Structure 1
Amino acid sequence: MHAGSLVQLGMSAEDEDLYRCLLRLTEGTASALAETLRVPVPEVEEQVARLEAMDLASLADNGSFRPAPPAIAVQRLIDLRLRELREELRRVAAEERVVESLLAEREAGRPAAGDASERPAIERIEGTPNVRAVIDELTFFTRKEGLTTQPHGALSAASIEASRPLDARILRRGIRMRTIMRPAAVEDAATLRYLEEISAMGADIRISDKPLERMLVFDRTAALTPIDPQNPRLGALVIRESGLVANLVSLFERMWADSVPLAEAVAARRVPEGELSETERRVLANMYEAEKDETGAREVGVSVRTYRKYVADLMQRLGATNRFQAALLARDHGWI
């Protein structure tokens, strides 16, 4: 084993030999690597495929393989090892029902009130620490999707720090995360940085200029809403009744349809007043070229609903009553 061997980071000794050989040669074809390592070409090809799968090697235009830089390679191996370890621990925790046993322990210490395993359809949770504990618990059991709205726009530094590890854990597990924010989120530098950070990790963020109802929905089976929307510090209601949760999901979907992707909101914010964003210019161009809104939306790269919202907004800004009139007015404004 080499000093500082990559085997300790989960790589096989044979794959490490190939990676180190690539580092020495700078690049090499499968046949050249096979000759240097004195192993059959098919074996080298299998090893190179494994390195490519781990992003530790890449195929150059000239047909040679090149190694990832050492620092990047080590970081990728660490990330892979951590992911494997995290999944292994999660699997063990699930198979051994660790959380369930701890929850049963907690319920056993509470006054008897029927079957402790039966959770009420609506449960009142008071106090911010208790609400956060419930969110942690529900997040742990989430397997597919988390839906969130944030009516107050900008997030406090404390809220961002509390949410960062929770959101990162959700996204690393491959759970779909959809969040709707108010325009104030885009105006606040710290909030915007955080939203762009989790967007890069896979979160789907949208911005709505319409009123939002505060909610969190987990796998469409449980939801949290504030006891008093005007005073969220009072606590939250945990809702598990399927009909009520379904209604909240329906409300979320309507709010989602009325919102725009974060990137669009950021781009629009950077456009000087009275001017058009790039997306708006593309919508204008397609308004008269595309026969159907579905075609125009596909060309612009937005949903049909969002496309029609752009059309309606542009016609309102132009003071037009139909699309033909909008075309004439847009030319007068120098927009097209």
Structure 2
Amino acid sequence: MRKASLDFLGVTSEEEGLYRQLLRQGSLTPDPATDTKIADRLVALGMATETHTGALRPVAPGRAVERLIEHRVHRVQSELEETTHACGVVDSLLKEREVAALPRVTADSPPVQQIQGMENVRAAIDELTFFVRTENLTTNPIGVLSPESIEFSRPIDLRTLRRGVRMRTLMAAPALDDPGTLAYLRELAGEGAEIRISHHPLERMIICDRAAALTPLDPANTSKGALLTREPGLVATVIELFERMWTMAKDLPKLDDQPPSDIERRILKVLYNADKDESGARELGISVRTYRKHVASLMTRLNASNRFQAALLARERGWF
């Protein structure tokens, strides 16, 4: 059996030793003579947070290991993508076959293509974003992303951002009230995406490199399919509409700028006294799953390592 160590995730023995000490003590002030570089590394890896006094607090083990895994996966994926791009394997494979359902550009491609069915639409989105090089513009008129949608979008979005593509995303206002969606948007923002929240109606669209635009066949029923246009005049019109909506929207609130919602305030009050999630959810009249989603979101915003600490930090901020 493998020794219970974090070395396989790129953590040195000194870094792991300090992290384990943090977990035992709850917090500590690094020794400037010996621990400063190690402490900075723990913060950079997402294993610890630093208070305004310079003290370190440990991130919960589950979350810390999750972040370490993400770091390693991103590093390996970036290396593989760079190698893939350098050797031209994708272009080589694409020459082997023609895929009628996908929006590949050929000399005979029409300026406007109709794509039927969500499976083909998703394949079209994947191919468009794979080849985007400068800018990717998207809107979401609903504002709430399902876990399945986030799972589908995450590798595409992160891959695009890692290539240095400018990503601008417009989300409808309900995004601010959904913990899962909000956490994902903050994740993208942390990777360099520009995200704004609109309190006005949005039209659904995806625009790549200002050269191709994807819009729904039926805005009321996106499952019917989409229209892909590369006709310059139509693309310019869609871009103009996007820019108009972008100007009217507001930047995604920063963690420190966004006050808790009414349900979050109620959860924090219960969190301060309740011992179990089940009793807290029952007191608020919500499901345990919903309760836990809000708690996880609050812990992230407050950089808290446990529920009780989150309640204390929230109280210090005057959130309840």
Q: TM-score range by the shorter chain?
A: 0.5 to 0.7
Q: Which residue of 2 aligns with 1:176?
A: 167
Q: Secondary structure at the match of 1:106?
A: coil
TM-score of the pair, normalised by structure 1: 0.55
Q: Would the alpha carbon gap of residues 72 and 178 (structure 1) be closer, same or farther in structure 2, given more than 3 Å must change? A: closer
CA contact (8 A) 1:239 1:245 kept: yes
Q: Where does the alignment leave 5 or more consecutive residues of structure 1 unmatched?
A: 32-40, 271-336
Q: Secondary structure at the match of 1:11?
A: coil
User: Do residues 88 (structure 1) and 79 (structure 2) align?
Assistant: yes
Equivalent of residue 198 in structure 1, options 158, 178, 184: 184
Q: Which residue of 2 aligns with 1:27?
A: 28
1: CA distance between counterparts of 2:147 and 2:23?
A: 40
Q: Secondary structure at the match of 2:96?
A: helix
For 1:7, give the aligned amino acid: D
Q: Which residue of 2 aligns with 1:331?
A: none
2: CA distance between counterparts of 1:58 and 1:180?
A: 30
2: CA distance between counterparts of 1:198 and 1:172?
A: 11
User: Do residues 104 (structure 1) and 99 (structure 2) align?
Assistant: no
For 2:215, give the aligned amino acid: T
Q: Secondary structure at the match of 1:178?
A: strand
Q: Which residue of 2 aligns with 1:314?
A: none
Q: Would the alpha carbon gap of residues 134 and 116 (structure 1) be closer, same or farther in structure 2, given more than 3 Å must change? A: closer
1: CA distance between counterparts of 2:54 and 2:105?
A: 64
CA contact (8 A) 2:214 2:227 kept: yes
Q: CA deviation at 1:135?
A: 0.9
For 1:79, give the aligned amino acid: E
For 1:250, give the aligned amino acid: E
Alignment: residue pair count: 241
1: CA distance between counterparts of 2:143 and 2:51?
A: 45
- Per mean C-alpha deviation after superposition, the further-off stretch among 237-246 and 83-92 is 237-246
Q: Secondary structure at the match of 1:126?
A: strand
1: CA distance between counterparts of 2:175 and 2:15?
A: 46
For 2:31, give the aligned amino acid: A
For 2:131, give the aligned amino acid: F
1: CA distance between counterparts of 2:58 and 2:220?
A: 57
Matches within 5 A, 1:214-233: 214-227=204-217
For 1:3, give the aligned amino acid: K
CA contact (8 A) 1:180 1:256 kept: no
**Larger relative contact order (C-alpha < 8 A, sep ≥ 6)?**
2
Q: Which residue of 1 aligns with 2:291?
A: none
CA contact (8 A) 2:215 2:227 kept: yes
CA contact (8 A) 2:121 2:225 kept: yes
Q: Would the alpha carbon gap of residues 205 and 170 (structure 1) be closer, same or farther in structure 2, given more than 3 Å must change? A: farther
Q: CA deviation at 1:254?
A: 1.2
For 1:30, give the aligned amino acid: D
2: CA distance between counterparts of 1:252 and 1:239?
A: 15
1: CA distance between counterparts of 2:108 and 2:89?
A: 18
Structure whose residues are more often helix by fraction: 1
Q: Which residue of 2 aligns with 1:288?
A: none
CA contact (8 A) 2:217 2:226 kept: yes
1: CA distance between counterparts of 2:15 and 2:46?
A: 13
Q: CA deviation at 1:236?
A: 2.7
CA contact (8 A) 2:169 2:196 kept: yes
TM-score of the pair, normalised by structure 2: 0.58
2: CA distance between counterparts of 1:232 and 1:70?
A: 41
CA contact (8 A) 1:22 1:28 kept: no
Q: CA deviation at 1:6?
A: 0.9
Q: Would the alpha carbon gap of residues 255 and 91 (structure 1) be closer, same or farther in structure 2, given more than 3 Å must change? A: same
Larger radius of gyration: 1
1: CA distance between counterparts of 2:91 and 2:65?
A: 37
Q: Would the alpha carbon gap of residues 16 and 5 (structure 1) be closer, same or farther in structure 2, given more than 3 Å must change? A: same
For 1:136, give the aligned amino acid: D
User: Do residues 248 (structure 1) and 234 (structure 2) align?
Assistant: no
Q: CA deviation at 1:149?
A: 3.6
Q: CA deviation at 1:7?
A: 0.6
For 2:114, give the aligned amino acid: I
CA contact (8 A) 1:30 1:64 kept: no
Q: CA deviation at 1:160?
A: 3.6
Q: Would the alpha carbon gap of residues 227 and 71 (structure 1) be closer, same or farther in structure 2, given more than 3 Å must change? A: closer
Q: CA deviation at 1:77?
A: 1.6
Q: CA deviation at 1:76?
A: 2.5
Q: CA deviation at 1:127?
A: 1.3
Q: Would the alpha carbon gap of residues 235 and 77 (structure 1) be closer, same or farther in structure 2, given more than 3 Å must change? A: closer
1: CA distance between counterparts of 2:246 and 2:51?
A: 43
CA contact (8 A) 1:57 1:68 kept: yes
2: CA distance between counterparts of 1:73 and 1:230?
A: 42
Q: Which residue of 2 aligns with 1:126?
A: 115
Q: Deviations over 1:157-207 (max 9, x none)?
A: xx84553223323443446341254x7x679x8xx5554343333372533
Q: Percent identity between the aligned chains?
A: 36
Q: Would the alpha carbon gap of residues 195 and 261 (structure 1) be closer, same or farther in structure 2, given more than 3 Å must change? A: farther
Q: Would the alpha carbon gap of residues 59 and 226 (structure 1) be closer, same or farther in structure 2, given more than 3 Å must change? A: closer
Q: Where does the alignment leave 5 or more consecutive residues of structure 2 unmatched?
A: 263-320
